[in-house]
Chain A
């Protein structure tokens, strides 16, 4: 069966520090991968999605970047965090072209101080 792992679960970082959130999927190949952010009291905002290794689509210009170094690995990064980067980050996957049901990880709560 397929599983999705996301870590760290909780992170507290100072302004200006770097960020790396990692997501991996097991039990499938060539998944579509997604990063969403959920700010306090708001909905889920799509940040990045990837339909294959090295293919990243950015939805919102911002302080963050994403990379997909391996088929089932998706990394969200920042060189210098801003206060506004605080939020709950969710990784998700779907089974590729034509599939549309997303399965989500447990999320990572980021607090920037």
Chain B
């Protein structure tokens, strides 16, 4: 069964600092996608970043980057220069064909 594990229920970071959120997954698929979604207090789910498993290069989107370790089935999210607006729930997700499987989320607090 495909599973996604986020072992950090809560994390905190000082504004302008860097924080890394962890995620591991389990799959028998060889071709798949991985995602990080952000859920702010409004509860609207927002796509942060996407990684294609066949690509060795780690995805980046402005201040957000991932460390994708395919053999270890690890997919961490690094947020650089953290901003107050980054405070939210962050969900790691895995896409085998046809459906997106989410982890339980990490609540990120950002302190000024």
Assuming the A-B contacts A43-B91, A43-B103, A100-B33, are A32 and B98 also in contact, with contact meaning beta carbons closer than 8 angstroms in the complex? yes
Q: Which B residues have a C-beta under 8 Å from some C-beta of A?
A: 6, 33, 35, 42-45, 47, 50, 91, 95, 98-105
A-B contact pairs, 19 of them (CB 8 A): A32-B98, A34-B99, A36-B102, A42-B104, A43-B6, A43-B91, A43-B105, A44-B91, A44-B102, A45-B102, A49-B98, A90-B45, A100-B95, A102-B45, A104-B44, A106-B42, A106-B43, A107-B43, A107-B44
- Residues of B with C-beta under 8 A to A42: 104-105
A26 to B45, CA, bound (A): 18
Interface residue SS majority, chain B? loop
Q: Which residue of A lies closest to B107 (CB)?
A: A41
Interface magnitude class on chain A? 20 to 34
The answer to whether B45 and A104 touch across the interface, beta carbons within 8 angstroms, is: yes
How many Å lie between the Cα of A44 and that of B43 in the bound state? 12
Knowing that A46-B101, A46-B102, A102-B45 touch, tell me 15 more A-B residue pairs with CB under 8 angstroms.
A32-B98, A34-B100, A43-B6, A44-B91, A49-B98, A57-B98, A92-B45, A92-B100, A100-B50, A100-B100, A101-B35, A103-B47, A104-B44, A106-B42, A106-B43
Is the Cβ of A43 less than 8 Å from the Cβ of B100? no
- Cα(A44)–Cα(B91), bound, Å: 9
